[in-house]
């Protein structure tokens, strides 16, 4: 593995770790914890209702579970009422996070987006994204404009084809590499 690939792998790992930390911090939200507790209270109330059904069955079989039945039903109603109140008040709850957390989140996003941009550029994915951006932005890059002007001059006879090829090779290192490879194959054939 060469140095460039190692750096690229470390950058990808850094992005993944940063995003993982953000997900960890998001899971510590008091609003989410309250919502979880409310769900647990509601489940407990449902279990009490199930126990009441069993108490009713026991009563039908001859035992006297009525005092337990009334008590558990009262508790169940109280728990459900409290859960309803918490749900109503939950809309007004606002997460409070320390100032450093906001700054850390902002820094992680900026660094993460920068690393994603770097990876897009390094992996050559910008060649896919650039035409889409050009379509929506209706902008023509300077390199493309100058090359088109040079080609129009070639067709008008003001510039030689060799000058156009030289300009294109000078403006795009990837094109230059591909040209050298194609030229070597033609000379070898």
pLDDT value of residue 21: 67
Task: Give the mean pLDDT of the chain.
Answer: 77
CA separation for the pair 189, 172 (Å, rounded): 26
b/e per residue 160-177 (b: at least 16 CB within 10 A): eeeebeebbeeeeeeeee
Distance CA 111, CA 149 (A): 39
Q: Which pLDDT belongs to residue 23?
A: 62
Banded pLDDT at 158 (limits 50, 70, 90) = very high
Q: Which of 131-135, 147-151, 177-181 has the lowest mean pLDDT?
A: 131-135
Confidence of residue 115 (pLDDT cuts 50, 70, 90): confident
41-77 pLDDT, tens digit per residue, is 777 777 787 777 778 887 888 887 766 676 777 777 7
Provide the pLDDT for residue 156: 92
Does 114 or 7 have the greater pLDDT score?
Answer: 114
Nearest to 46 by CA among 17, 84, 72, 20: 72
Q: Note the pLDDT of residue 47.
A: 73
- % pLDDT > 90, the chain: 4
The reported pTM is 0.31
DSSP code string of 69-94: HHHHHHHHHHHHHHHHHHHHHHTT--
pLDDT band at 28 (very low <50, low <70, confident <90, very high): low
Per-residue pLDDT tens for 116-138?
Answer: 888 877 887 777 777 777 777 66
Q: What is the pLDDT of residue 25?
A: 61
Report the run of H or E that residue 9 belongs to, with start and end.
Answer: helix 3-26
What Cα–Cα distance (Å) separates residue 152 from each residue in 107, 142, 144, 175?
47, 15, 12, 20
């Amino acid at each position: 593995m060469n140095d460039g690939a190692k750096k690229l792998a470390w950058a990808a790992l850094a992005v993944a770790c940063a995003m993982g930390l953000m997900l960890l911090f998001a899971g510590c939200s008091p609003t989410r914890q309250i919502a979880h507790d409310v769900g647990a209270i509601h489940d407990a109330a449902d279990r009490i209702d199930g126990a009441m059904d069993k108490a009713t069955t026991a009563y039908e079989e001859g035992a006297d579970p009525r005092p337990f039945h009334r008590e558990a039903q009262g508790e169940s109603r109280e728990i459900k009422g409290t859960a309803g109140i918490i749900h109503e008040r939950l809309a007004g709850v606002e997460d409070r996070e320390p100032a450093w957390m906001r700054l850390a989140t902002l820094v992680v996003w900026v660094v993460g987006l920068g690393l994603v941009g770097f990876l897009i550029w390094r992996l050559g994915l910008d060649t896919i994204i650039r035409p889409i951006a050009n379509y929506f932005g209706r902008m023509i890059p300077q390199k493309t404009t100058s090359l088109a002007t040079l080609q129009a001059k070639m067709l008008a006879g003001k510039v030689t084809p060799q000058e156009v090829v030289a300009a294109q090779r000078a403006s795009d290192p990837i094109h230059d590499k591909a040209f050298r490879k194609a030229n070597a194959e033609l000379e070898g054939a």
